[in-house]
Amino acid sequence: MNSKTNSPWAVVLLSGGLDSATAAAWAQSKGFRLAALTVHYGQRHAVEARAARRVAKRLGIEKHVESMVDLTRFGGSALTDRKLRVPKARKGAPVAAGIPITYVPARNTIFLSLALGFAETLGAQDIVMGVNALDYSGYPDCRPAFVRAFTRLANVATKAGVEGQRLRVHTPLMKLTKAGIVKLGTRLGVCYEYTHSCYDPVKRGRRVLACGCCDSCRLRLKGFAEAGIEDPIEYA
């Protein structure tokens, strides 16, 4: 736990998934004092917010804010519109090329904007997010070009930026494969059994299990398999 009051604040976007938990642990290892932001946006896999709470508690994160933004009003994604089906495939099948129906329009732009507002209130110059551009689902807002563009925006759209307090968006997982992310998180002591990655979880009594067939599950399983580490969560 990093509780040194003289350490700089960093706001980390914490969904409760494998990537965001690893990014949070990375930021903590760099000496940042962490403030986490979890966004409830009407996602069908809302169970991930409970995972975020578990991860935040495990890491000893000092501030954890949960914010509401109802993106179901717009729809346009299988994660926010229950009439659309989450694509499924067998374990080991390649993730389809192109931008999938699980892409949520402008999600990371919205999330980073909220994180930016949170950072300004803390006097933080650093935002951390767990996007990557190698083993990912093809989302346009997970690419380096997007992060660079948002960083430029942040530094002209805020009081802090205009007054010379340069804001930075850290993406420590950007160039890692899923296996590389799993290995990094394991070295940093991330408890992956607390995380949730599935887009379309399955209820079994009181338990909520990962489906094992959506793109997110298959990428996660691929990462653990290639890292030679057992995935500690249950699959349906």
Dist. CA 182–CA 192, nearest whole Å = 9
DSSP secondary structure code for residue 77 in this structure = S
Supply the pTM of this predicted model: 0.94
CB neighbours of residue 157 within 10 Å: 14
Amino acid at 48: E
SS3 177: coil
Over residues 142-164, the mean pLDDT reads: 96
Homologous superfamily assigned to 9-227: HUPs (3.40.50.620)
pLDDT category, 94, cuts 50, 70, 90?
A: low
- Asked whether residue 134 carries a pLDDT value surpassing 90, the answer given is no
Give domain limits for the chain. Answer: 9-227
- pLDDT score at 232: 97
Over residues 19-41, the mean pLDDT reads: 98
Do 31 and 7 form a contact (C-beta atoms < 8 A)?
A: yes
Dist. CA 111–CA 59, nearest whole Å = 21
- Asked whether residue 49 carries a pLDDT value surpassing 70, the answer given is yes
Rounded alpha-carbon distances, angstroms, from residue 95 to 124, 185, 222: 37, 23, 11
Do 72 and 81 form a contact (C-beta atoms < 8 A)?
A: yes
- Asked whether residue 132 carries a pLDDT value surpassing 70, the answer given is yes
Q: Which segments within the chain are labelled E, that is strand?
A: 9-13, 33-40, 63-68, 126-128, 168-170, 202-204, 207-209
